[in-house]
Copies of this chain bind each other. A is one copy, B any other.
């Protein structure tokens, strides 16, 4: 058995986050980018990222325009969506919320051992992802505080 990737997020939501970040940094309403180019820049297969971009656009995490000169872009209001919203659009809600052991009857008042151990940290993670907007991270990137090593 060999696993080398962290599974807190699905591949799909990882790709989605990369694309969303990339668009937030490099596009705007009069500077759109086509699937083909996005795919190359963020290094994700075209057909795969296309599907995700469509879903993200439908849910207003990014914007899109059809036809010549069309493409995807990130509007100011798009950038106000949170990181958790990006994840939820792709992976669905509750994914990160349930008990780490998947136990139905585990909760704060009646916690399983693992819950008691890492529950508080998990809550903090969720709070962070809930409070940070795409724009927040884009700013960090613009200031070279972090990088997008695609």
Chain A residues within 8 Å of B, Cβ to Cβ: 1-11, 14, 17-18, 21, 83, 90-92, 94-106, 110-118, 121-122, 124-125, 128-129, 132, 137, 140-141, 145-150
Report whether B102 and A1 are in contact in the complex, using a CB–CB cutoff of 8 Å: no
Report whether A146 and B5 are in contact in the complex, using a CB–CB cutoff of 8 Å: no
Stoichiometry, copies per complex: 2
Report whether B4 and A7 are in contact in the complex, using a CB–CB cutoff of 8 Å: no
A-B contact pairs, 16 of them (CB 8 A): A2-B92, A3-B92, A6-B99, A6-B100, A8-B100, A9-B100, A9-B101, A14-B101, A14-B102, A103-B149, A112-B146, A113-B141, A115-B146, A116-B145, A117-B128, A117-B132
Cβ of A21: which chain B residues have Cβ within 8 Å of it?
113
In the assembled complex, the Cα of A128 lies from the Cα of B147 at a distance in Å of 28
Known: A121-B124, A149-B103. A6 touches B129 (CB 8 A): no
